[in-house]
Amino acid sequence: MNVLLMAYGTPYAPEEVEPYYTDIRRGRRPSEELLKELAERYEAIGKSPLNEITLAQAVRLQALLNLEAPPYPKRLLGPFPPRAPHGPARVYVGTKHWHPSIGEAVAAMHEDGVRRAVAIVAAPHYSLRSVAEYREKVDSALKALPEPIDFVWVESYEAHPGLIAAYARRLEEVIWRLKNPGKAAYVFTAHSIPVAAVEKGDPYPRQVEKTAELIAKRLALPRFHVAYQSAGRTPEPWLGPDINELLRTLKEEGYEEVAVQAVGFPADHLEVFYDLDLEAQATARELGLRLLRARSLNADLDYIQVLKDLVEAAWPR
Ligand code: FEC
């Protein structure tokens, strides 16, 4: 079994911010002002842990896929650890905007003799501005190969019961810390996308709502809100409400405590540590709101088990 696990990617060092940002902008170099602003955001969080988390996810997913599903054999006479019935699994990492790039990963897979594989992004919601773009990068890498690799895609998993349970578990930890859970606001966030994509029929906002609704239902929350964060620095309109704008509305409505969960991102990175933990937290402080954020899934085994389920269900038999 072969897997291409993809994530956004982040620069490893400050001097890599410029080419990374240029790649995000499809080859257009950012202005000095935009570059300075992004570099300052990285500086403010110290470092984005996204590459390390993606690698840890891949290593753990590979280990889980190679273990025979419980119940294990009664006697440990055979090879140890017990072998999965579908044979040795290999998980390759490809990042959308940095290294290893999706192109580098696909080329390495081909060189290793891989001819079929499952492609999955470490982000649960499909968007024309996310998963569709990962797919374009895989397709363009395939064009450079002498023989094709047959990829089966997991395009979204916004309602996977294991994902909902994993998110609910972490939100529950926040609920325990609220002074008055019955009167708090519960806000689920995802990365914003340009409104133009939504007008083209992007299922993204519907899928984000679905995840939020299922977590809320599982925890019997009295109410919940969906907000978008990290809108791009471009003049076009981006999907809202923005989290900071929603915090202002919540304050006006009389809320004192807000529980926030970033359901669009399984991992911690710039958009979580800066946009939520610094920026939204500062807005909340200024408004006199108490904001608590649920911790991320990262490479925790409950999330890796979700990836394993999805990959095994997609693997052609
Ligand atoms: O920790 C890190 O260094 C990387 C954090 C990071 C993640 C991420 C995820 C998503 N993005 C999505 C959409 C867009 C669109 C644009 C865009 C731009 C940026 C910029 C940075 C950035 N994104 Fe991102 N995104 C992360 C970081 N993103 C930095 C450039 C500066 C800025 O605008 O803030 C606009 C691109 C353009 O100009 O054309 C659209 C979506 C996701 C969630 C799915 C995924 O993880 O792939 C959607 C993590």
pLDDT digits (tens, 9 = 90+) for 22-51: 999 999 999 999 999 999 999 999 999 999
User: Which residue's CA is the nearest one to ligand 1's atom 33?
Assistant: 232
d(CA 261, ligand 1 centre) in Å: 18
- CATH number of the 159-291 domain: 3.40.50.1400
Fold of 1-156+299-312: Rossmann fold (3.40.50)
pTM of the model: 0.95
Question: Can you say how many angstroms the Cα of residue 95 is from the centroid of all Cα atoms in its chain?
Answer: 12
User: Average pLDDT, whole number, for the chain?
Assistant: 95
Q: Is 271 annotated as a binding residue?
A: yes
Q: Are 90 and 114 in contact (CB under 8 A)?
A: yes
Residues 185-210 have a mean pLDDT of 98
Same fold, 1-156+299-312 and 159-291: yes
Residue 74 pLDDT level (bands cut at 50, 70, 90) = low
Domain ranges in the chain are 1-156+299-312, 159-291
Which residue is associated with the tokens 């239902």? 217
Q: What integer pLDDT is reported at residue 67 of this predicted model?
A: 82
Q: What integer pLDDT is reported at residue 249 of this predicted model?
A: 98
d(CA 136, ligand 1 centre) in Å: 16
Percent of the chain with pLDDT over 90: 91
User: Which residue's CA is the nearest one to ligand 1's atom 34?
Assistant: 232
Asked whether the predicted pLDDT for residue 168 surpasses 70, the reply is yes
Smallest CA-to-CA distance from 296 within 65, 124, 107, 78 is with: 124
Residue 312 pLDDT level (bands cut at 50, 70, 90) = very high
Residues with CB under 6 A from ligand 1: 8, 10, 21, 24-25, 38, 48, 50, 123, 127, 129-130, 191, 193, 232-234, 264-265, 269-271
End-to-end CA separation in angstroms for the chain: 10
User: Which residue's CA is the nearest one to ligand 1's atom 5?
Assistant: 270
d(CA 9, ligand 1 centre) in Å: 10
Q: Which residue has the higher pLDDT, 76 or 89?
A: 89
Total residue length of the chain: 317
Residue 12 neighbours by CB distance under 10 Å: 13
Asked whether the predicted pLDDT for residue 76 surpasses 90, the reply is no
Q: Is 236 annotated as a binding residue?
A: no
Partner residues linked to 150 by β-bridges? 116
Lowest mean pLDDT among 46-60, 73-87, 134-148, 292-306: 73-87
Partner residues linked to 63 by β-bridges? none
Q: How far is CA 293 from CA 19, 40, 237, 257, 312, in A?
A: 31, 23, 27, 11, 32
d(CA 130, ligand 1 centre) in Å: 9
d(CA 178, ligand 1 centre) in Å: 31
Q: What integer pLDDT is reported at residue 78 of this predicted model?
A: 55
The whole-angstrom separation of Cα 305 and Cα 302 is 5
Tell me, what DSSP letter sits at residue 227?
Answer: E
Q: What integer pLDDT is reported at residue 233 of this predicted model?
A: 83
The whole-angstrom separation of Cα 54 and Cα 3 is 13
